[in-house]
Structure 1
Amino acid sequence: MRVNIGELLAARGAIRTVAYSEWVESPAEDVMLLQPVTGELVLASTGRSVCLTGQLRTQLTLYCGACLAGYEQPLEFAVAEEFRRALPLSAAGAGGERELDADDFVVLVGPDDTLDLTEIVRQDLVLALPIAPRCREGCRGLCATCGADLNLGPCDCAGDSADPRLRLGVPGFAGLPARRITEKE
């Protein structure tokens, strides 16, 4: 969905509301959108720039980071961006090092004054995804030894580790004599 903000940039205080309902490209291989991203976006002119704000929602299929089961999850996320026209190269100043200011975090709009809202929404959707998704609170995950789903009950390996050093009762580092480090070392 593309929106021209040329008129908004010219009229300080102007506001435009956009009903958003679009299918967005899946942000990752293991994330599937089950319905379009929907919500309302507000474009407001400050005179120098246009602020885009809104609340959007969708339904996703994710995979649990503990047990690897697929599950559906609603996702609601905020959009907040600021846009302004790009300055001509002669007015942009010379290159080199300089300290960043607030203007450096404003997205520049090309000469056609058009925004691609779908790409902006996709980027904000990526930022809203959970880092370590869980199918439910208290998910016990998979056994590290045999891979059994511990949510279904205890596994047959009874916690035996493939690495004998990790078994309970086997002296490992705990069996080493204590050694103090002195200042000379």
Structure 2
Amino acid sequence: MLGGGNGCNGQECSFDIATNQTLRVFNTTTRLVTDALFHCFNQFTAYAGDRGYNSNGVCLPPVTVTHPNGVPELEYFKCHAGGMSVTFGNWARVGLPARDQYDKPYTQVVVDYWTSFARNLNSNPDVEYIHIREYWDTLSQITVSGPWEAVKTSAPAMMELQWNSVMVPFPDAKQCAVLGQSLDALL
């Protein structure tokens, strides 16, 4: 391959990944930085999708006799992007089964949070709008869960999306600080 800024001076060269120490250091560094930046800053989003689906069979809630499709309220490994079908409101359309009586109303609430944010940069749905549209499940849930609060530097918290959702402190702030990615890393 032609080398650009890799020490080949525009000449044709090849690398043996097993013996090229510089390339191994570069790959390791890139992996660590990527993991730290994306893991710590984006994990909250992935974590928030607790009731998410995942069709690969690994990230599914425990199955019980009464819940053959899994119990989303029980703790289980949540895969990144497992909540996409919920976010876009199409889990049933793509053939995923309802796991309990809350999957449909939960999906409606998540879609209402997202569309509210897209409409006015505030995740809290307008109560009057929800009432006029007769979105009773969303109205009930936002009443129980309370408002989705803006992040405060004095007490940073996030909305843990679940049935019932709740504001909770950032769960992995200490882990991120250990990685050198504390909450004030961008300040």
The TM-score by the shorter chain falls in which range? under 0.3
The structure whose RCO (Cα within 8 Å, separation 6+) is larger is 1
TM-score, length-scaled by structure 2 = 0.21
Higher strand share: 1
